[in-house]
Amino acid sequence: MMRLTRNRILSAALAGAGFVACGLASLPAVAEGSMVVRDFVLSHGIEGREPISNTDSFHVEDRKAFAFVRIHNTGAPTTMSFVWNHGERHHATVPVTIGTSPGWRTWSNIKLQAGDWHVKLVDGGGEVLLEKAFTVGPRMADPMTPMASPSNGGQEMRGPRDIPASVAYPSR
């Protein structure tokens, strides 16, 4: 009887080690009534309730920046806020509800202006949980605007910047 019990314990331990090795048990345990932020991502957009990119660099042509968060919440629903700052100036505070779920997803977005930004995820008590900084660059140059290039003797050309027209558009 004792031998059978030892074999079962050993089998269970080996199976558990196999799950960990395969990544199936990679998420830490979450205590009842607690909350863990799983993801906090800046993105160019959201599709299917998921971020389409993970970035810290935008251009004003992107129009919007999205802050996405995924939270494992075993407690009661709660409120958090995304706090957006442009430089040192407060831009917006966007409250969001976090429901009870192992993977609650929510996001906020802002219209972009050039400069340095940061967004904070703040809990209901005002404590900053996470913060991300990002930069919004000025309008990108139109690659088809006339320009002078050293490779063509300083003459104006149309085409991708600093590439001779004969390389960008081979002649026949």
Count of CB atoms situated within 10 Å of the CB of 60? 15
Average pLDDT, the chain: 76
Instruction: Average the pLDDT over each of 5-9, 140-144, 164-168 and give the range with the smallest value.
Output: 164-168
Q: What is the pLDDT of residue 90?
A: 98
Map tokens 């031998």 to a residue.
3
Whether 23 has a pLDDT exceeding 90, the answer reads: no
Please report, as a single letter, which amino acid is at residue 65.
A
Whether 167 has a pLDDT exceeding 60, the answer reads: no
Please report, as a single letter, which amino acid is at residue 161.
R
Map tokens 């917006």 to a residue.
92
Whether 26 has a pLDDT exceeding 70, the answer reads: no
Three-class DSSP category at 113? coil
Q: What is the pLDDT of residues 89-107, one digit of tens each?
A: 999 999 999 999 999 999 9
Q: What is the pLDDT of residue 34?
A: 86
Whether 3 has a pLDDT exceeding 90, the answer reads: no
Residue 85 and residue 61 in contact, taking contact as beta carbons nearer than 8 Å: no
Q: What is the pLDDT of residue 157?
A: 46
Q: What is the pLDDT of residue 144?
A: 56
Any residues with CB less than 8 A from the CB of 30 and at least 6 apart, and which? 36, 72, 74, 102
How far apart, in whole angstroms, are the C-alpha atoms of residue 17 and residue 20? 5
Whether 77 has a pLDDT exceeding 90, the answer reads: yes
Give the pLDDT band of residue 11 (cuts 50, 70, 90): very low
In 3D, which of 167, 136, 2 has the Cα closest to residue 56? 136
**Average pLDDT value for residue range 1-8:** 43
Residue 136 and residue 59 in contact, taking contact as beta carbons nearer than 8 Å: yes
Instruction: Average the pLDDT over each of 74-88, 112-126, 134-148 and give the range with the smallest value.
Output: 134-148
Q: Which range has the top average pLDDT, 25-29, 54-58, 117-121?
A: 117-121
